[in-house]
Structures are given as structure tokens and as C-alpha cells.
């Protein structure tokens, strides 16, 4: 019923009956329940012809009900986004903060940012109508911390005890009183890009983020892939230089030791270049500086080789590359594309497309919302899959 | 109902009613239909106390109904396996043939082999009771050829036309008149190992086969993973030696150019060794011959590096290695384990276990059965998932 109202807009009971084919009694029972729950509101149609009995009452989704919030607790900043009951993105906001900001203050900041979001036409977001929160956090390993979703919690064979809830989860649950689903924020960015971004509608998507760390995520059959122990998508720790530099993960020669922001800037300075940050490197690239172009060509080749290996393993249709390093543009993307082409199975070459991420820094927050829409029992009555992907893209222009 | 009978064995109508909680009328209607379909048979209990009314009739699964067959059409041989309605493996058989045997003769051979299988206690397999056939074929790319399973056929964004049915599919359908599901036989071996073999019960399994070709398959969340365009699991074509030997796939330096049977035997002879086939290489290994051990050590390292890369990408809990090359034992497996340990993210090291395949050459045929049990609408009434994995392992000893 909610799906029909989302698809068709306001409908009378009679029209709903035609669409769903249910008996009048059953239909009225369901609608009464939805109205009582606050998910659906009634309105008297203004267009009804006068003098022909009482005007037909139409039903519409309650724009204040079933809202969902996504929050990305990044290392040095917060990103929030929200959707209304029709799964329209009503807004997003970001704010930087120190890396050592305590969780209590991060959550308070998140609450302020969420409060600043305004719905499309319906005024400020009504937190009383909130259904669930999807949260992304930093960290290589985010075990399955989801609450009351036993059927999704693929417990692996190792029978490890459930990990304790994340502080963000505890604090948000206490503050908002709704389920708080949590995952790695880079993986959530993958889900966001697969639903609303560069790979919108893609069922099998590989997402790579080149930022302070190098990470990623996989969407498999339209759903976020977590792997047996919550460590899927760690492309940054695939070895590219055996015996190479020490990596934060404890290994050596990982892609992250070559393609993270710090690694690239260090290598650039080592080659005689001068750049304190990515914008300065971008300037050098635009000026056609040889040291910068040569460096990015080598880095891109390593990235493309890793992408090709993962492509051969899992066969995605779309690869999305995001993160600040992609601001260097074709100087990096070109070499990535060439190495991907050279190393992916020839039969797969024309089947996989490489795209730059489009959601920017709010990708993780949007992915948090997607997580909620996919997994929350409160919202699972909504149709998922392709239909879910369609609607937000219609309203994406409202997104700042 | 079928699930209850499979789980508990013969039950009376009253006992079934207690288990399922349905009303007497509904229960009797369903049971009448199942008996009419031949899925369930009735028997008068011999244990019923005399003189207390007519003995209770019990219902049991019809061991001749709902049978499924798996056939692996390998390059130079055929493997078949069958399960009865209770998902017990009733037998398997193999027969080698020339690589150029026409499809008509392969299918005729398959039919003879299937006819030779005998059920456990119920005499020969009754082909009239066959529900579906799952077929594995050679080939890097087996597109989604499944019939009448629209909801599984994840059409990717490229809107490619459905491929024509495979000759084996056409011939088997004509002969047996049942749905014929088809996939790459190496991928099916992965599914077989994940359900009945070395990774039984594993939800996230990486399977690598080291044979004339090097291929593999992924089981993700308990289901066979195909990727967006049916090319998942091509670990053999991940580059391990940039600029290395030409591969059949059109690329260069693929794992297959290093770790296939031919590549290993060629390299061994190049190093002065003498072995015409794997059994002879195994002899050299057992004799402690340095050339053989050094070679396998290098090959194992390449394999382990690829496995580590894929592990970092997808986080499986079990890696299964099969294929003839594994007959060289610890001389190969040891170096694979060491390279895997060295290159997988340290945090994942203790979470993934490396195991040798246990199903041997019938893994693909068993995987064909698993495909049918997972996907056929005729059998989808049976519970899938963990329960499915349990039952056959109880009866695995019946498997030759």
C-alpha cells in the first residue's frame, strides 16, 4: 500500500483498491491501520466535482513519518543526510571537527546538524517521526553490530561473541529512541554510490576510495557485502609492492602505502615536488608538471592492477572511484583505466565501466540511509531494489 | 509440510498438525494435494496398538519423487550424481571420454551413467520422479541461461540479449522433460564444496581449482556468486607476472600461466625435471627432489598472493583448494599458506581457514544438484540454507 502511494502519489480508496486487487474489507482494514500508525494521512480532494455526494477522500504518505537519517562519523568531520517517508532526500549537511572530539560531542553535533535539515515543502524535519538511523564509522573492521536483525546477521562459523555496541550507537539510541544500524563508513559510501550516485541502479558495484586511507566496498546483487567477518572491501590492503613500505594494517607494500593522500604527497615531495595538500598537487598537475604526472601515472597503474584483480574475482558491472585523490582528474584516472584494461580478463573489458564518484563527502551518510531502508524492519514494507533506486534519482536535484 | 517430513521422518496427520499449527481443514487439503502430486505417500503404521480403532496412517516423503540430478560435463569426462526427495545423495559416477565427443553422445553417456545410480534402499533411480537437472559445463563465461527463473536472472545494466540455451540444456530438456539449470562447472564445484565438502555449512567461501585450467568460484551468503556478467571467480586470470607468458584468455602473466598443470609440468621440465603428468611430479616431490620442491614453492607463493588479494577484497571464512595439482600436498599447500599469511590483512589472518577440497571429481555434479535445490521452483518449497546443509552431511557416508 505504501509502495503504491509512493509510486502514484495521492489516491482514493477506490483507486488503491483497483491497483492492489484486495477486497474492500481487507483494504479498509489495512488503510485504517496505516492511518492510525501515522504512516498515511487522509485529505479531502479539492478537485472533486460538487453536488455529486461528498468529495472522495484521498490518501497520501505522511511526509513526516518514516523518516530516516544517515550519519557519517568520519575521522575529522560529520556528515548527515535525511530522507522523508517517500524516500526523497530532504537535505544533507557537513561539519569538520578535530580528530579527537569525544563521542558525546560528536553525537551532539550530529543532532544539531540533523535539526538544521529542512524537508522539501514540509518545514523542518520532525524527529518524532524518525524510524531509524544508519551510521557509518571509521575502522577497518566493523563487525555485525546491527540490532534486532537476526536474519541478516550472518554469524560465521567461528561463533565469535557479538561485539559490544559502538559508542555512537549507544548514544544515538539513547537520544532518539530508534534502531541505530552501523557499518564501516567507506562501505556505506559504496552503498550510497550504488543507489543514488555514480552507479545508481547497479546491482554489482565495486567502490574504491582514495583518501587519507585507501578502502572500499562491494555491492553484490544490490546489497552491501560484508564478508564472513565484516572485512569485505579492504582493497587498500592488497599487496602491490612485495617487501614495500610498512602499512598501518601491519602488512607491507599494501596499496594504501602507495595510493593514500599521505603516500602520494610524500612521494611527490621525494621527487622534488612541492605540495602540502591535494589542492596544491592538483595545481601542479594542471600546470603539466612532469614530476606530478609521472608520480600519478605510477600510482594509477598500481590502483588499476588491484581493480583488475578484484574485477576478475567478482565481476562487477561498475567500478566507482571516490576520495580526494581523484581530484587530480585524468592524470590519475587515465593510468587507472589503462592498467585496468591491461589486466582485467579481455572478455570482461567492455563489460565493466569505471566512473568517478558523484556523491562527494555525503556518500557515507546517504549510504547510512540506504542501510536503514534495506534492513530496518520498520521500513522493510517499502519495495526495495530497482524501485528504490528510481525514486530518489527523481528528487536528487533537491539535494544540495 | 515437506520440510517437516524431511526433518522428522514419517508423521501422522495429527502430529503434522501439531508441528505446523495449521487448521485441520487446511492441513488435510495440503496433504491431499501432496499425495496427489506424488510428493508424499501414506502408510499404515505397523506399531499402532491393536483394538483401539483403525491404526493411524502416517505420511512420509516419497523417496522416488523430487529427485534431482547433477551432471558435470567436464572437458574429457562426465560426472553425475543424484539425490532423492530427502536430499540424500543416492550415488555418483564418472566416465572419461575424448575431448571432442559430440554433445549428443555426451548426453547419451550421461543418461547411461544416471541410470546406473541406485538409490539407498529404494532400488534404481526412477527417472519419472525427476524434478530438475543441474548441469555444469566448461567455459570461462557462462551467462545466465537459467530458464523460467526471472527473479534470479539479475540482468545487468547492459541489457544484453539472453544467450541461446547451451546444447546440453536443450538435449537434456528434450530427453528428460524437466528444467535444466546450467552454470560454469568450476563455480558449481565451489557450491558443492560449500554445501557438502570441505567448507560444509560455510556461508562465504572462496574455492580455487588448480587443474588444466585455473579457476574458481565464490559462495557469498550461502549462494553461488555470479557477478554482473557471469564472470565471477576467475582467479586464474589475475595477473601475477606483469609482462609474463601469454594466457589463453588473451592476457599475459595470469595465475593460470604459472599454476595450471601444463604450466607447472613445463616449468618442471625446464628446470631439468622429468615428469609427464601430475602423478610423476608427485613421485618426485615425495622423493624430496629439489627442483620439484623449489618449483612448487614458487608456484604456491603466487597462488597465496592471489588468494590474499581476493580475501582482502571479499573476506571469506574458508578457502578451499581443489584440482589435481593439490595432489602434490604440503609441498604446494605449505607455500600457499605462508604467502596467504604474509599478504592477507593481519587482522584477517586467524579468521580465514585454508582447506583442501574433499569432494574430488564429483564436486561439480554435486554442485549442480545444489544449484537445483537452491533455485528450482519445483524444489524451492524445501527449506534452504543451514537446514539444507545439515541433512546431506548426515547421509554423506552413503556417497561412494
- Residue B381 is predicted with a pLDDT of 37
Which pLDDT tens digit goes with each residue over A161-194?
556 788 999 999 888 888 899 999 999 999 999 9
Interface of A with B in 121-150 (CB under 8 A): 140-141
Which pLDDT tens digit goes with each residue over A263-292?
999 999 999 999 999 999 999 999 999 999
Averaged pLDDT for residues B232-251: 94
- Residue A251 sits in the same domain as residue A233: yes
C-alpha–C-alpha distance, residues B80 and B377, integer Å: 22
Cell numbers for B164: 541461446
Whether chain B has a CB inside 8 Å of the CB on A235: the answer is yes
Are B345 and A231 an interchain contact pair (Cβ–Cβ within 8 Å)? yes
Please indicate, yes or no, if residue B118 is contained in any of the structural domains.
yes
The residue assigned the cell 495449521 is B22
Please indicate, yes or no, if residue A153 is contained in any of the structural domains.
no
- Residue A241 sits in the same domain as residue A372: no
Residue of A6 and B192 predicted with greater confidence:
B192
- Residue A312 is predicted with a pLDDT of 96
- Residue A352 sits in the same domain as residue A206: yes
Distance from the A310 Cα atom to the nearest Cα atom in chain B, whole angstroms: 7
Asked whether residue B321 carries a pLDDT value surpassing 70, the answer given is yes
Averaged pLDDT for residues B75-92: 83
Whether chain A has a CB inside 8 Å of the CB on B190: the answer is no
Q: Work out the angle between the directed axes of helices B386-394 and B185-195 (0-180°, nearest 10).
A: 80
User: Taking every pair of C-alpha atoms in chain B, what is the biggest distance, in angstroms?
Assistant: 85
- Residue A356 is predicted with a pLDDT of 98
8 Å CB contact between A89 and A392: yes
The three-state secondary structure class of A191 is helix
- Residue A43 is predicted with a pLDDT of 81
Averaged pLDDT for residues B135-163: 52
Over pLDDT 90: what percentage of chain B? 52
Q: Mean pLDDT score of chain A, rounded to an integer? A: 82
DSSP-derived letter for residue B198 is T
Please indicate, yes or no, if residue A103 is contained in any of the structural domains.
yes
Residue range of the domain that includes A265? 201-357
- Residue B217 sits in the same domain as residue B353: yes
Asked whether residue B204 carries a pLDDT value surpassing 60, the answer given is yes
Please indicate, yes or no, if residue B95 is contained in any of the structural domains.
yes
Q: List residues bridging with A60 in a β-sheet.
A: A41
Please indicate, yes or no, if residue B156 is contained in any of the structural domains.
no
- Residue B387 is predicted with a pLDDT of 33
pLDDT band at B91 (very low <50, low <70, confident <90, very high): confident
C-alpha–C-alpha distance, residues B224 and B60, integer Å: 31
Q: Mean pLDDT score of chain B, rounded to an integer? A: 82
- Residue B310 sits in the same domain as residue B393: no
- Residue B152 is predicted with a pLDDT of 38
- Residue B282 sits in the same domain as residue B140: no
Cell numbers for A50: 460538487
Whether chain B has a CB inside 8 Å of the CB on A233: the answer is yes
Cell numbers for B397: 557416508
Residue of B40 and B347 predicted with greater confidence:
B347
Domain C-terminal end among B31, B61, B91? B61
- Residue A95 sits in the same domain as residue A186: yes
- Residue A207 sits in the same domain as residue A330: yes
Are B315 and A221 an interchain contact pair (Cβ–Cβ within 8 Å)? no
Q: Which residues of A touch B235 (CB under 8 A)?
A: 312-313
pLDDT band at A32 (very low <50, low <70, confident <90, very high): confident
Asked whether residue B123 carries a pLDDT value surpassing 50, the answer given is no
| Chain B residue at shortest CA distance from A142 | B347
- Residue A207 sits in the same domain as residue A353: yes
Which pLDDT tens digit goes with each residue over A152-170?
334 443 444 556 788 999 9
8 Å CB contact between B158 and A351: yes
Whether chain A has a CB inside 8 Å of the CB on B237: the answer is yes
- Residue B163 is predicted with a pLDDT of 65
- Residue B178 is predicted with a pLDDT of 81
The CATH number of whichever domain residue A25 belongs to comes to 1.10.10.10
Domain C-terminal end among A61, A91, A106? A61
Whether chain B has a CB inside 8 Å of the CB on A207: the answer is no
- Residue A328 sits in the same domain as residue A371: no
Domain count for chain B, please give it: 3
Averaged pLDDT for residues B203-212: 96
Whether chain B has a CB inside 8 Å of the CB on A228: the answer is yes
Which pLDDT tens digit goes with each residue over B341-393?
999 999 999 999 999 999 999 999 999 998 888 765 444 433 333 333 332 32
Q: Work out the angle between the directed axes of helices B278-286 and B290-314 (0-180°, nearest 10).
A: 110
Please indicate, yes or no, if residue B158 is contained in any of the structural domains.
no
Burial of A79 (0-12, 13-18, 19+ CB in 10 A): buried
The CATH number of whichever domain residue A245 belongs to comes to 3.30.420.40
- The candidate with the shortest Cα–Cα distance to B184, out of B359, B364, B370, is B364
Please indicate, yes or no, if residue B196 is contained in any of the structural domains.
no
- Residue A187 sits in the same domain as residue A92: yes
Cell numbers for A93: 549537511
Q: Across the interface, which of A202, A308, A312 has its CB nearest the CB of B235? A: A312
- Residue B254 sits in the same domain as residue B343: yes
Asked whether residue B104 carries a pLDDT value surpassing 60, the answer given is yes
8 Å CB contact between A165 and A135: no
Please indicate, yes or no, if residue B248 is contained in any of the structural domains.
yes
Amino acid at each position: 500500500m505504501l509502495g503504491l502511494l509512493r509510486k502514484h502519489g495521492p489516491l482514493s480508496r477506490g483507486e488503491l483498491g483497483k491497483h492492489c486487487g484486495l477486497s474492500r474489507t481487507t483494504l479498509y482494514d489495512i488503510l485504517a491501520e496505516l492511518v492510525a500508525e501515522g504512516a498515511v494521512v487522509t485529505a479531502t480532494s479539492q478537485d472533486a466535482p460538487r453536488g455529486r455526494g461528498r468529495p472522495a477522500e484521498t490518501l497520501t504518505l505522511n511526509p513526516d513519518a518514516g523518516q530516516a537519517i544517515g550519519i557519517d562519523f568520519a575521522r575529522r568531520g560529520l556528515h548527515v543526510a535525511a530522507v522523508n517517508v517517500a524516500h526523497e532526500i530532504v537535505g544533507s549537511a557537513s561539519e569538520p571537527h578535530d580528530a579527537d572530539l569525544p563521542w558525546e560531542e560528536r553525537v551532539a553535533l550530529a543532532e544539531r546538524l540533523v535539526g538544521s535539515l529542512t524537508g522539501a515543502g514540509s518545514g523542518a524535519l520532525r524527529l518524532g517521526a524518525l524510524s531509524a538511523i544508519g551510521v557509518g564509522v571509521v575502522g577497518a573492521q566493523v563487525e555485525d553490530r546491527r540490532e534486532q536483525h537476526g536474519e541478516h546477521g550472518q554469524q560465521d562459523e567461528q561463533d565469535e561473541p557479538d561485539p559490544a555496541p559502538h559508542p555512537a550507537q549507544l548514544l544515538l539510541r539513547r537520544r532518539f529512541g530508534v534502531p541505530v544500524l552501523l557499518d564501516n563508513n567507506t562501505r556505506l559510501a559504496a552503498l550510497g554510490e550504488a543507489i543514488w550516485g555514480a552507479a545508481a541502479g547497479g546491482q554489482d558495484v565495486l567502490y574504491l576510495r582514495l583518501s587519507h586511507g585507501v578502502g572500499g566496498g562491494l555491492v553484490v546483487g544490490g546489497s552491501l557485502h560484508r564478508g564472513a567477518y565484516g572485512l569485505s572491501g579492504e582493497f587498500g590492503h592488497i599487496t602491490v609492492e612485495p617487501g614495500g613500505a610498512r602499512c598501518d594494517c601491519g602488512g607491507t607494500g599494501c596499496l594504501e602505502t602507495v595510493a593514500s593522500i599521505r603516500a602520494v604527497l610524500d612521494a611527490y615531495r621525494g621527487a622534488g615536488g612541492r605540495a602540502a595538500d591535494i589542492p596544491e598537487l592538483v595545481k601542479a598537475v594542471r600546470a603539466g608538471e612532469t614530476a606530478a604526472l609521472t608520480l600519478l601515472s605510477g600510482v594509477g597503474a598500481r590502483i588499476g592492477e588491484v581493480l583488475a584483480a578484484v574485477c576478475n574475482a567478482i565481476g562487477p558491472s561498475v567500478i566507482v572511484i571516490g576520495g580526494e585523490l581523484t581530484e587530480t582528474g585524468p592524470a590519475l584516472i587515465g593510468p587507472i583505466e589503462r592498467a585496468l584494461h591491461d589486466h582485467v580478463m579481455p572478455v570482461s573489458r567492455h563489460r565493466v565501466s569505471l566512473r568517478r564518484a558523484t556523491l562527494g563527502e555525503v556518500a557515507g551518510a546517504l549510504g547510512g540511509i540506504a542501510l536503514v531502508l534495506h534492513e530496518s524492519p520498520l521500513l522493510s514494507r517499502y519495495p526495495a531494489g530497482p524501485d528504490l533506486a528510481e525514486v530518489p534519482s527523481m528528487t536528487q536535484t533537491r539535494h544540495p
